[in-house]
C-alpha cells in the first residue's frame, strides 16, 4: 500500500483547528478526542499529529519520540476514561480498503464501557 498522505482528510483539518473536537488529551505529538459517532460508551480516537496514513506507515516511518509519545498518550487515555485499570477495552485500527478505513490519517480506536463482543465476524 502506498502512503501518500491526503492533507484534506478530516483529521488533518481537526489538527489544523479547522474543525472542532472534544479533546481528551493533547501532547506535542499526539491528540486524543471523542469519536463523533461513538460505537460504545467509551470511544476515543488517538492520532499522531504527523502525516501518517495507517498503523504500518506510522510504525515504519515515525520517529522514536513520536511512537513513544503516541503509546504513552494512549495509555494515559485508557486510565483517564476509566477502562484500565477497570473492566477493559479494545484498541483497534483499520487500514485501507479491506480494513474499511474511512479516514486516511492513522488513528487508534479505544472502545469500552460495555462488553464489546467478538473481534470480527467470521466470514
Q: Does 33 bind ligand 5GP (CB under 6 A)?
A: yes
Q: Does 101 bind ligand 5GP (CB under 6 A)?
A: yes
Q: Does 75 bind ligand 5GP (CB under 6 A)?
A: no
Whichever of 12 and 78 has its CB closer to ligand 5GP, that residue is: 12
Q: Is 107 a catalytic residue?
A: yes
Query: Cell for 65?
Result: 519520540
- Measured between alpha carbons, how far is 72 from 60 in angstroms, rounded to an integer? 18
CB contact at 8 A, 50 and 31: no
For 36, half-sphere exposure in the C-beta direction (CA atoms, 13 angstrom radius) is: 7
- List residues near ligand 5GP by CB under 6 A: 10, 19, 21, 33-37, 94, 100-103
Amino acid at each position: 500500500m502506498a502512503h501518500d498522505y491526503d492533507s484534506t482528510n478530516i483529521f488533518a483539518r481537526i489538527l489544523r483547528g479547522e474543525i472542532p473536537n472534544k479533546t481528551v488529551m493533547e501532547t506535542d505529538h499526539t491528540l486524543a478526542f471523542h469519536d463523533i459517532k461513538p460505537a460504545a460508551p467509551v470511544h476515543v480516537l488517538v492520532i499522531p499529529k504527523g502525516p501518517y496514513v495507517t498503523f504500518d506507515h506510522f510504525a515504519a516511518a515515525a520517529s522514536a519520540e513520536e511512537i513513544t509519545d503516541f503509546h504513552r498518550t494512549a495509555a494515559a487515555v485508557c486510565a483517564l476514561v476509566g477502562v484500565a485499570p477497570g473492566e477493559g477495552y479494545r484498541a483497534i485500527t483499520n487500514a485501507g480498503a479491506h480494513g474499511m478505513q474511512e479516514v486516511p490519517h492513522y488513528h487508534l480506536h479505544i472502545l469500552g464501557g460495555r462488553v464489546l463482543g467478538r473481534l470480527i465476524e467470521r466470514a
